[in-house]
Amino acid sequence: MSKKDEKTNVMRLLEQKKIPYNSYNYLSTGAISGTEVAKALGEDPDIVFKTLVTEGRSKEHYVFVIPVEKELNLKKAAKSVGEKSIEMIRQKELFPLTGYVHGGCSPIGMKKPFTTTIDESAAAHEKIIFSAGKIGYQVEVALEDLKKIVRFQLADVTE
């Protein structure tokens, strides 16, 4: 990380837990979509993940972390968390609920812990890359290490 790169709260939390990570700053690339971010980082889109926040019929909130080129299958996702149905939350609800803005949402460091599910495809990779909690920043963390800071399950939740 170069001196001009700022640390995000996600990076600080990883350091507090002594979890090794790599960080990336892609601000200068103008990348917006997850696929563009993967390309800007020169990484396989299969290891670059996006964080989605949903609400179940029960009004509970759930976090899903899926590869950037995939779509969340709402039926599979609902089943994975024991809900009859779930839907994506509205963009304006994201910041008050999680403390993160759209495009900078990370599974680490949300305002409160939510049931988190990572797509099972992540298990095929040594490390995955996801938002560092701020637009323009990503972190790369091993799944084994991620377990030390986020309670999650693996499930098939994409189409």
Q: Tens-of-pLDDT digits for all 159 residues of the chain?
A: 443 458 999 999 999 999 999 999 999 998 989 999 999 999 999 999 999 999 999 999 999 999 999 999 999 999 999 999 999 999 999 999 999 999 999 999 999 999 999 999 999 999 999 999 999 999 999 999 999 999 999 999 999
What the block records as the tokens of 28 is: 């200068």
pTM score of the predicted model: 0.94
> Would you say 13 and 111 are in contact if contact means Cβ atoms under 8 Å apart?
no
Residue with the two structure tokens 């837990």: 17
pLDDT of residue 6: 81
Neighbour tally for 94: CB within 10 Å: 20
Please tell me the distance from the alpha carbon of residue 23 to that of residue 88, in angstroms, as a whole number.
28
- Per DSSP, the three-state class of 91 is helix
| Annotation: CATH topology of 9-155 | YbaK protein (3.90.960)
Q: Which of 54, 53, 24, 17 is nearest to 149 (CA)?
A: 17
